[in-house]
Amino acid sequence: MITLLIYEDNIDYAESLSAFFEMEDDMTILGHYENPSEVSTQILEYGPDVVIMDIDMPKMNGIQALKEIRKTDSKALVLMLTVFDDEDRIFESIQNGANGFLLKESKPKKIIEAIRDVMDGGAPMTGSVARKVLNQFNVIKPKEETADLSKREKEILSFLVNGMSYKMIASKCSISYHTVNAHIRKIYDKLHVSSATEAVAKAMKNRLI
């Protein structure tokens, strides 16, 4: 069962999302809040698998809340939601440990897919957001850094960059989920990162694929 916390100041939208999530056999809502001013306490109390975090909220915005979450010992996965695909917000979210970034205009089905993808180790992003990430890294001068990745590891990393989940990669490469997981752990070690989001960012920034 995937446990979820939602932070969203639009109550109607939050309740609508909650209703869609509760219809899924493998998801349950632990609670939803209009602002994340008590986020650290709530994360430690509930221990959610995934946090759905709006960016624009009163008292504390979603990026500030993300920073607070990362100060705790929580391993919660955080999916950022916003009505804007603003580059500054995207990169600040990524730099502070966001696991995915979606626009509110995304259909509930897409958000549900993103939740499952992030649980599988993916880094889901709405298409327009992914393009902005790629465009931004294309104008950044790459660092003089390389990684001794095998051909298979580069292939799997490229699939991660394209937003594919572990299960999707396993199907594409005709290998098992556990084999994909083993390859990705090696990729993390070689890139000195600890998440799919960091691996994707580093791969693009340093033109590793």
Fold of 2-135: Rossmann fold (3.40.50)
* Residue with more model confidence, 90 or 134: 90
Average pLDDT over residues 125-153: 64
Task: Tell me the pTM.
Answer: 0.71
Q: Does position 148 have pLDDT exceeding 90, yes or no?
A: no
d(CA 182, CA 203): 18
137 — pLDDT class (breaks 50, 70, 90): low
d(CA 4, CA 115): 9
Model pLDDT for residues 158-208, shown as the tens digit of each residue: 888 777 778 888 999 999 988 998 998 889 888 888 777 778 777 777 777
Neighbouring residues of 187: CB distance < 8 A, sequence distance ≥ 6: 149, 153, 156, 157, 199
Instruction: Compute CA distances 141 → 3, 131, 149, 203, 207, whole Å.
Output: 40, 18, 21, 13, 10
- Domain ranges for the chain: 2-135, 143-205
Q: 43 with 74: CB under 8 angstroms?
A: yes
Other CB atoms within a 10 A radius of the CB of residue 127 amount to: 11
d(CA 204, CA 150): 17
Reply yes or no on domain 143-205 having CATH 1.10.287.610.
no
- State residue 140's pLDDT score: 47
CA angle 104, 40, 22 (to 5 degrees): 45
